[in-house]
Chain A
Amino acid sequence: MTDQGEFFQRDREWHPPAFTPDYKTSVARSPRNALISLENTQSEITGPTFGHNAFGTHDNDLLLNYAQAGESPIGERIILHGRVLDENCRPVPNTLVEIWQANAGGRYRHKKDTYLAPIDPNFGGCGRTLTDENGYYFFRTVKPGAYPWRNLVNNWRPAHIHVSVFGTAFAQRLITQCYFEGDPLVDKCPIVKTIPSQEGRDSLGAALDMNASVPLDSLAYKFDIVLRGRRSTLFENRMEGN
């Protein structure tokens, strides 16, 4: 598999637009001019790679990576797992997946978060891992709680985990949020609703996955991530990217 091909054009009608006034912060932080479209060059089709030596043993285990010895965070123990694929349905191996989240009460361990729900002394709220050769990743964590935010006066974020993925090129760089099956707050959230289509919004819902649950230990949710696909280029009579 070569990694020199150019990318399918990003579908900007599928992604949220920049200016989404119901999500108020976007009003002053969205460009007014149209984006300028570039044909890919080396600058876009290359990207950083990361080695295993950068990671600690518990970096993907949020139940352990900030807990005192013998302690555990309070909350619903879950496994978040899935595959990173590209639009050609090919796995994206050895790519960095990073997550961050609030604790079970909806409180972030961040000096700017002043929500009255308490910090959990045994929960940091961030994790990272590399996908394996099949594009597979997993984390162990607690299910985050919903929390209020200053948008409309009574807006609450659904439970969510922030997810950052690199892929193999700077053009694939993506940050998104993973929601949980059955959460009634999802349909009310102005940030979720920045995504134009119901199909697009549904694609951010992690499914309850009983097959991956560990009996008497943890439930599991499956969240697959899709990055932009590489195009076959036909110059020099040879298919690249295939």
Chain B
Amino acid sequence: MVQKLDYLRETPSQTAGPYVHIGLAPGAAGFDIYDQEMGWDIAGPNAKGERIRVEGLVIDGTGSPVKDVMLEAWQADSQGRYVDPKNPDATEEGFCGWGRVITNFETGEWGFDTVKPGSVPGRNGSTQAPHINLWVVARGINIGLNTRLYFDDETAANADDPVLNVVEWENRRATLLAKRTERDGKIVYRFDINLQGENETVFFDI
């Protein structure tokens, strides 16, 4: 005899399907319905730090770009602080930290403008290298995929990052590094996500 544990069970995930844009980015689906769509401005106009653009493709197991993806980003500000609803003044005015982007239906390219995040505290007094948390959903993806984008010009911080170091296959860590380039005077980080196969991106169970 034993008592029953009275926890509820998490609602099971289902794919976002091909028309995720209707609900979460209706402008892209081809119609305007809300006064304000969410997730287009991660950093706001006043946030300090280096302004960057992040862009890439999501590529499937056949090598083809996936053209119906939605990605969400969650990041700290340039001082390494996440937005805290209980302490709204801790981050700069207008800094949201969260973003939502969809791929171009023709090319599969996605991208967003933000500021480069600072280092954030890790567990047990460690420090995490600057990173952006990403969540990828699409048709064919039954449960959202979590990954992290790190910056390839943060060599020293990346080498000490506790999460990157959990990835025991050192060659796979490179799949989490976005490559810094410059275009028209703008700093652009390229981050392609490979869902499957060669150079498959590391995905996390968080």
B156 at the interface (CB under 8 A from A): no
**Pairwise interchain contact A164-B19, C-beta atoms closer than 8 A:** no
A238 at the interface (CB under 8 A from B): no
**Pairwise interchain contact A14-B12, C-beta atoms closer than 8 A:** yes
**Pairwise interchain contact B22-A43, C-beta atoms closer than 8 A:** no
B72 at the interface (CB under 8 A from A): yes
Determine which of B17, B76, B121 lies in contact with A162 in the assembled complex, contact meaning CB atoms within 8 Å: B17
For A96, the closest partner residue in chain B by CB is: B38
What chain B residues lie within 8 Å of A46 (beta carbons)? 74, 82-84
A237 to B70, CA, bound (A): 42
Whole-angstrom distance between the Cβ of A112 and the nearest chain B Cβ: 7
For A172, the closest partner residue in chain B by CB is: B10
B157 at the interface (CB under 8 A from A): no
Q: With A110-B30, A126-B23, A173-B135 as given contacts, are A50 and B38 in contact (CB-CB < 8 Å)?
A: yes
Determine which of A20, A85, A175 lies in contact with B144 in the assembled complex, contact meaning CB atoms within 8 Å: A175
**Pairwise interchain contact B61-A29, C-beta atoms closer than 8 A:** yes
- 0/1 per residue, B66-92, Cβ < 8 Å to A? 101000101010000011111000000
Whole-angstrom distance between the Cβ of B102 and the nearest chain A Cβ: 12
Q: With A31-B195, A191-B14 as given contacts, are A108 and B24 in contact (CB-CB < 8 Å)?
A: no
What chain B residues lie within 8 Å of A37 (beta carbons)? 204-205
Determine which of A20, A47, A86, A227 lies in contact with B142 in the assembled complex, contact meaning CB atoms within 8 Å: A20
What chain B residues lie within 8 Å of A110 (beta carbons)? 18-19, 21-22, 29-30
B54 at the interface (CB under 8 A from A): no
Whole-angstrom distance between the Cβ of B165 and the nearest chain A Cβ: 11
Name the segment of B1-9, B107-115, B178-186 touching the other chain: B1-9
Whole-angstrom distance between the Cβ of A189 and the nearest chain B Cβ: 10
Q: With A16-B12, A176-B11, A228-B10 as given contacts, are A36 and B204 in contact (CB-CB < 8 Å)?
A: yes
A residues near B (Cβ < 8 Å) are: 3, 8-12, 14-18, 20, 23, 25-33, 35-44, 46-50, 54, 56, 59, 65-66, 85-89, 98-100, 108-113, 124-128, 162, 164, 170-171, 173-177, 191-192, 194-195, 200-201, 203-204, 225-229
Cβ contacts A to B, 23 pairs, < 8 Å: A3-B86, A18-B141, A20-B142, A28-B61, A28-B62, A28-B196, A29-B66, A29-B138, A30-B61, A32-B61, A41-B121, A42-B121, A43-B128, A46-B74, A59-B34, A124-B31, A128-B34, A164-B16, A175-B144, A177-B17, A191-B15, A204-B12, A227-B10
